[in-house]
Amino acid sequence: MSVLDTFRLDDRVAVVTGASSGLGVAFARALAEAGADVVLAARRVDRLEQTAELVRATGRRAVTVETDIAEPEQAQHMVDAAVEQLGKVDILINNAGIGTAVPATKETPDQFRRVIDINLNGSYWAAQAAARVMQPGSSILNISSVLGLTTAGLPQAAYAASKAGIIGLTRDLAQQWGARKGIRVNALAPGFFRTEMTDEYQPGYLDAMKSRIVLGRTGDPAEIAATAVWLVSGAAAYVTGQTIAVDGGLTIN
Protein backbone atom coordinates (compact mmCIF):
# COMPACT_ATOMS: atom_id res chain seq x y z
CA MET A 1 0.00 0.00 0.00
CA SER A 2 1.37 3.41 -0.96
CA VAL A 3 1.31 6.36 1.41
CA LEU A 4 -1.45 8.01 -0.60
CA ASP A 5 -3.57 4.85 -0.31
CA THR A 6 -3.57 5.22 3.49
CA PHE A 7 -5.65 8.39 3.12
CA ARG A 8 -8.44 6.53 1.30
CA LEU A 9 -11.75 5.85 3.08
CA ASP A 10 -13.15 3.21 0.74
CA ASP A 11 -15.84 0.99 2.29
CA ARG A 12 -16.06 3.25 5.32
CA VAL A 13 -19.27 4.76 6.72
CA ALA A 14 -19.00 8.24 8.20
CA VAL A 15 -21.52 10.23 10.24
CA VAL A 16 -21.30 14.02 10.10
CA THR A 17 -23.36 16.16 12.45
CA GLY A 18 -24.18 19.75 11.56
CA ALA A 19 -24.01 18.69 7.92
CA SER A 20 -26.58 21.19 6.63
CA SER A 21 -24.19 24.14 6.27
CA GLY A 22 -20.70 25.54 6.74
CA LEU A 23 -17.82 23.24 7.57
CA GLY A 24 -20.19 20.29 7.88
CA VAL A 25 -20.84 20.43 4.14
CA ALA A 26 -17.11 20.57 3.43
CA PHE A 27 -16.43 17.61 5.72
CA ALA A 28 -19.16 15.50 4.12
CA ARG A 29 -17.98 16.23 0.60
CA ALA A 30 -14.34 15.51 1.39
CA LEU A 31 -15.17 12.22 3.12
CA ALA A 32 -17.16 11.14 0.07
CA GLU A 33 -14.37 12.15 -2.29
CA ALA A 34 -12.03 9.98 -0.21
CA GLY A 35 -14.39 7.01 -0.67
CA ALA A 36 -16.75 7.00 2.32
CA ASP A 37 -20.51 6.69 2.39
CA VAL A 38 -21.91 9.47 4.56
CA VAL A 39 -24.76 9.84 7.03
CA LEU A 40 -25.76 13.49 7.24
CA ALA A 41 -27.36 14.77 10.44
CA ALA A 42 -28.75 18.19 11.36
CA ARG A 43 -31.88 19.90 12.58
CA ARG A 44 -32.53 21.56 9.20
CA VAL A 45 -33.41 18.44 7.28
CA ASP A 46 -34.50 20.38 4.19
CA ARG A 47 -30.94 21.63 3.73
CA LEU A 48 -29.42 18.22 4.32
CA GLU A 49 -30.62 17.10 0.91
CA GLN A 50 -28.38 19.69 -0.74
CA THR A 51 -25.38 18.18 1.03
CA ALA A 52 -26.58 14.70 0.09
CA GLU A 53 -26.52 15.69 -3.58
CA LEU A 54 -22.85 16.68 -3.25
CA VAL A 55 -22.06 13.31 -1.69
CA ARG A 56 -23.95 11.35 -4.34
CA ALA A 57 -22.22 13.31 -7.09
CA THR A 58 -18.99 11.57 -6.03
CA GLY A 59 -20.64 8.17 -6.49
CA ARG A 60 -21.02 7.51 -2.77
CA ARG A 61 -24.18 6.80 -0.79
CA ALA A 62 -25.80 9.47 1.39
CA VAL A 63 -28.39 9.13 4.16
CA THR A 64 -30.06 12.12 5.83
CA VAL A 65 -31.30 12.03 9.43
CA GLU A 66 -33.08 14.91 11.13
CA THR A 67 -31.25 15.24 14.45
CA ASP A 68 -31.13 17.64 17.38
CA ILE A 69 -27.84 16.44 18.81
CA ALA A 70 -28.59 18.02 22.19
CA GLU A 71 -31.09 15.20 22.80
CA PRO A 72 -29.41 11.87 23.71
CA GLU A 73 -32.29 9.90 22.21
CA GLN A 74 -31.88 11.65 18.87
CA ALA A 75 -28.13 11.02 18.88
CA GLN A 76 -28.87 7.34 19.39
CA HIS A 77 -31.48 7.40 16.61
CA MET A 78 -28.89 8.94 14.27
CA VAL A 79 -26.47 6.07 14.88
CA ASP A 80 -29.24 3.47 14.68
CA ALA A 81 -30.27 4.88 11.29
CA ALA A 82 -26.68 4.69 10.06
CA VAL A 83 -26.39 1.03 11.06
CA GLU A 84 -29.82 0.17 9.67
CA GLN A 85 -29.27 1.80 6.28
CA LEU A 86 -25.52 1.50 5.73
CA GLY A 87 -24.59 -1.37 8.03
CA LYS A 88 -22.06 0.21 10.39
CA VAL A 89 -20.33 3.37 11.65
CA ASP A 90 -16.57 3.73 11.16
CA ILE A 91 -16.19 7.50 11.47
CA LEU A 92 -17.98 10.21 13.45
CA ILE A 93 -17.35 13.91 12.90
CA ASN A 94 -18.91 15.87 15.75
CA ASN A 95 -19.39 19.15 13.93
CA ALA A 96 -22.81 20.43 15.06
CA GLY A 97 -22.53 23.68 16.95
CA ILE A 98 -23.94 27.12 17.58
CA GLY A 99 -22.32 30.32 18.78
CA THR A 100 -23.34 33.43 20.71
CA ALA A 101 -21.69 36.78 21.37
CA VAL A 102 -23.38 38.00 24.54
CA PRO A 103 -21.65 39.99 27.32
CA ALA A 104 -21.20 37.76 30.36
CA THR A 105 -23.31 39.97 32.65
CA LYS A 106 -26.21 39.87 30.19
CA GLU A 107 -26.19 36.25 29.03
CA THR A 108 -29.20 34.36 30.33
CA PRO A 109 -29.01 30.85 31.80
CA ASP A 110 -31.02 29.51 28.87
CA GLN A 111 -28.65 31.11 26.33
CA PHE A 112 -25.61 29.64 28.05
CA ARG A 113 -27.15 26.20 28.53
CA ARG A 114 -28.27 25.95 24.89
CA VAL A 115 -24.72 26.45 23.61
CA ILE A 116 -23.33 23.88 26.06
CA ASP A 117 -26.15 21.43 25.28
CA ILE A 118 -25.44 21.42 21.55
CA ASN A 119 -21.71 21.99 21.32
CA LEU A 120 -20.40 19.97 24.27
CA ASN A 121 -23.16 17.70 25.52
CA GLY A 122 -24.27 16.86 21.99
CA SER A 123 -20.74 15.81 21.06
CA TYR A 124 -20.71 13.48 24.05
CA TRP A 125 -24.09 11.90 23.27
CA ALA A 126 -23.07 11.30 19.66
CA ALA A 127 -19.69 9.84 20.66
CA GLN A 128 -21.37 7.54 23.21
CA ALA A 129 -23.85 6.23 20.66
CA ALA A 130 -21.22 5.75 17.96
CA ALA A 131 -18.70 4.04 20.25
CA ARG A 132 -21.26 1.40 21.17
CA VAL A 133 -21.27 0.10 17.58
CA MET A 134 -17.80 1.05 16.30
CA GLN A 135 -15.24 -1.65 15.60
CA PRO A 136 -11.48 -1.40 16.22
CA GLY A 137 -9.89 0.97 13.72
CA SER A 138 -12.75 3.46 13.91
CA SER A 139 -12.26 7.17 14.51
CA ILE A 140 -14.10 10.06 16.18
CA LEU A 141 -13.22 13.64 15.31
CA ASN A 142 -14.60 16.40 17.54
CA ILE A 143 -14.73 19.94 16.16
CA SER A 144 -13.47 22.39 18.76
CA SER A 145 -12.28 25.92 17.91
CA VAL A 146 -9.31 28.22 18.38
CA LEU A 147 -11.62 29.89 20.92
CA GLY A 148 -11.08 26.80 23.05
CA LEU A 149 -7.40 27.80 23.10
CA THR A 150 -7.36 31.60 22.96
CA THR A 151 -9.66 34.64 22.74
CA ALA A 152 -10.72 36.72 19.77
CA GLY A 153 -12.09 39.99 21.07
CA LEU A 154 -15.75 38.97 21.35
CA PRO A 155 -17.82 38.15 24.44
CA GLN A 156 -18.20 34.41 23.85
CA ALA A 157 -18.08 32.76 27.26
CA ALA A 158 -20.53 29.98 26.43
CA TYR A 159 -18.97 29.18 23.07
CA ALA A 160 -15.40 29.29 24.41
CA ALA A 161 -16.33 27.13 27.39
CA SER A 162 -18.01 24.55 25.16
CA LYS A 163 -15.06 24.37 22.78
CA ALA A 164 -12.51 24.12 25.60
CA GLY A 165 -14.68 21.36 27.06
CA ILE A 166 -14.51 19.46 23.78
CA ILE A 167 -10.71 19.42 24.02
CA GLY A 168 -10.91 17.84 27.47
CA LEU A 169 -13.60 15.44 26.30
CA THR A 170 -11.39 14.39 23.38
CA ARG A 171 -8.44 13.56 25.63
CA ASP A 172 -10.54 11.53 28.04
CA LEU A 173 -12.41 9.51 25.42
CA ALA A 174 -9.13 8.82 23.62
CA GLN A 175 -7.61 7.30 26.77
CA GLN A 176 -10.80 5.37 27.60
CA TRP A 177 -11.35 3.85 24.15
CA GLY A 178 -7.87 3.59 22.62
CA ALA A 179 -6.55 0.25 23.80
CA ARG A 180 -9.90 -1.11 25.02
CA LYS A 181 -11.99 -0.45 21.91
CA GLY A 182 -9.43 0.45 19.28
CA ILE A 183 -11.17 3.78 18.64
CA ARG A 184 -9.08 6.89 18.03
CA VAL A 185 -10.48 10.23 19.21
CA ASN A 186 -9.03 13.55 18.07
CA ALA A 187 -10.17 17.16 17.74
CA LEU A 188 -9.80 19.96 15.23
CA ALA A 189 -9.59 23.59 16.34
CA PRO A 190 -10.61 25.67 13.31
CA GLY A 191 -9.56 29.28 13.04
CA PHE A 192 -11.53 31.73 10.93
CA PHE A 193 -13.34 30.17 7.97
CA ARG A 194 -16.13 32.01 6.19
CA THR A 195 -19.37 30.25 7.15
CA GLU A 196 -22.90 31.21 8.20
CA MET A 197 -21.57 31.75 11.72
CA THR A 198 -18.90 34.24 10.63
CA ASP A 199 -21.45 36.02 8.43
CA GLU A 200 -23.07 37.19 11.67
CA TYR A 201 -19.96 39.05 12.82
CA GLN A 202 -19.91 42.84 12.80
CA PRO A 203 -18.65 44.39 9.52
CA GLY A 204 -14.86 44.65 9.58
CA TYR A 205 -14.35 42.11 12.38
CA LEU A 206 -12.72 39.42 10.22
CA ASP A 207 -10.48 41.97 8.56
CA ALA A 208 -9.33 43.14 11.99
CA MET A 209 -8.53 39.56 13.01
CA LYS A 210 -6.26 39.07 9.99
CA SER A 211 -3.47 40.91 11.81
CA ARG A 212 -3.26 37.91 14.17
CA ILE A 213 -3.24 35.32 11.36
CA VAL A 214 0.30 34.47 10.26
CA LEU A 215 -0.85 33.56 6.75
CA GLY A 216 -2.84 36.81 6.52
CA ARG A 217 -6.15 35.38 5.34
CA THR A 218 -9.20 33.40 6.38
CA GLY A 219 -9.30 29.70 5.59
CA ASP A 220 -11.01 27.83 2.80
CA PRO A 221 -13.31 25.07 4.14
CA ALA A 222 -11.62 22.58 1.80
CA GLU A 223 -8.37 23.15 3.69
CA ILE A 224 -9.73 22.01 7.03
CA ALA A 225 -11.71 19.21 5.38
CA ALA A 226 -8.45 17.78 4.06
CA THR A 227 -7.05 17.75 7.60
CA ALA A 228 -10.18 15.95 8.78
CA VAL A 229 -9.74 13.25 6.13
CA TRP A 230 -6.16 12.72 7.32
CA LEU A 231 -7.18 12.42 10.98
CA VAL A 232 -9.94 9.85 10.39
CA SER A 233 -7.93 7.83 7.86
CA GLY A 234 -5.29 5.15 8.26
CA ALA A 235 -2.69 7.81 7.55
CA ALA A 236 -3.20 9.02 11.15
CA ALA A 237 -3.39 5.54 12.70
CA TYR A 238 -0.96 6.49 15.48
CA VAL A 239 -2.58 9.82 16.33
CA THR A 240 -5.08 10.01 19.17
CA GLY A 241 -6.09 12.40 21.94
CA GLN A 242 -4.75 15.37 19.98
CA THR A 243 -6.21 18.77 19.15
CA ILE A 244 -4.95 20.06 15.80
CA ALA A 245 -5.30 23.80 15.19
CA VAL A 246 -6.06 24.67 11.56
CA ASP A 247 -5.91 28.42 11.90
CA GLY A 248 -3.31 29.94 9.59
CA GLY A 249 -1.07 30.47 12.60
CA LEU A 250 -3.49 32.51 14.71
CA THR A 251 -2.78 30.63 17.95
CA ILE A 252 0.98 31.27 17.78
CA ASN A 253 0.43 35.04 17.89
Q: Which residues are catalytic?
A: 159
- CB neighbourhood size of 243 (10 A): 18
For the chain, the DSSP string reads: --TGGGG--TT-EEEEESTTSHHHHHHHHHHHHTT-EEEEEES-HHHHHHHHHHHHTTT--EEEEE--TTSHHHHHHHHHHHHHHHS---EEEE---------TTT--HHHHHHHHIIIIIHHHHHHHHHHTTPPTT-EEEEE--GGGTS--SS--HHHHHHHHHHHHHHHHHHHHHHHHH--EEEEEEE--B-SHHHHTSPTTHHHHHGGG-TTSSPBPHHHHHHHHHHHHSGGGTT--S-EEEESTTGGG-
Q: Would you say 159 and 116 are in contact if contact means Cβ atoms under 8 Å apart?
A: no
Q: How far apart are CA 61 and CA 107, in angstroms?
A: 42
